Amino acid sequence: MKRVYVATSNRGKLRDFVAAAQGKIEILPLPDFSSLPAVEEDGATFEENARKKAEYYSRVVPGEIVLADDSGLEVDALGGAPGVHSARYATPDKSENASDAANNARLLRELEQVPDAARRARFVCVIAVARDGNVLQTLRGQAEGRMLHKPRGSGGFGYDPLFQFPKLGKTFAELTPEEKAEVSHRGQAFRKFLDWIE
């Protein structure tokens, strides 16, 4: 079975990738990821950040395929924010990740006066595939939805409890990992990766 390493310490992302892989390839966390120096995610786009991470972390496991993703939420009423700063949205200087609870609280505050009709949003994921410091491919997925006024569901992570996927009438936090993999931005990008690697 083919194996790929994923450059993340985010357990939620790893769960998403494992669910999307459906046993077709082996998904492994990058060895000793938490002890490696962090890559500064200073790119202006999801693709720039994903490429930067993939190039850097693929040097850690020579000869192996490494995936790095950059993903986040774009809310139309906020001009596309939080965007590339999704994980750091509630941190004043955007230098380090904030807790999911803090990020969600800030988003809810900023959307307080925004009517339902103007709450369109999308999750975006860009996966960069690299080996030995060279990016081989980038793949993008996105899921359109809308932001709720309060969280629903206990699964998922990040903004999942606030993001309703209209076709299912559920938030991403109300879906099973398998259901989420079918419709999510990360699941879409990962299926493109499976097509590419085959």
**Radius of gyration from C-alpha coordinates of the chain:** 16
What's the token pair of residue 146? 């809308």
CA distance 150 to 158: 14
Tell me whether residue 70 is one of the annotated catalytic residues. Answer: yes
Q: Look at the alpha carbons of 61, 192, 159, 179 in this order and tell me if their dihedral is positive or negative.
A: negative
CA distance 89 to 101: 11
Q: Look at the alpha carbons of 77, 79, 85, 91 in this order and tell me if their dihedral is positive or negative.
A: negative
Rama region for 150: left / alpha / beta (φ>0; ψ in -120 to 50; rest): beta
Out of 70, 76, 93, 132, the active site residue is 70
Q: Are residues 44 and 84 in contact, defined by beta-carbon separation less than 8 angstroms?
A: yes
DSSP string, 38-76: PPP---SSHHHHHHHHHHHHTTSSTTS-EEEEEEEEEEG
Active-site residues: which are they? 70
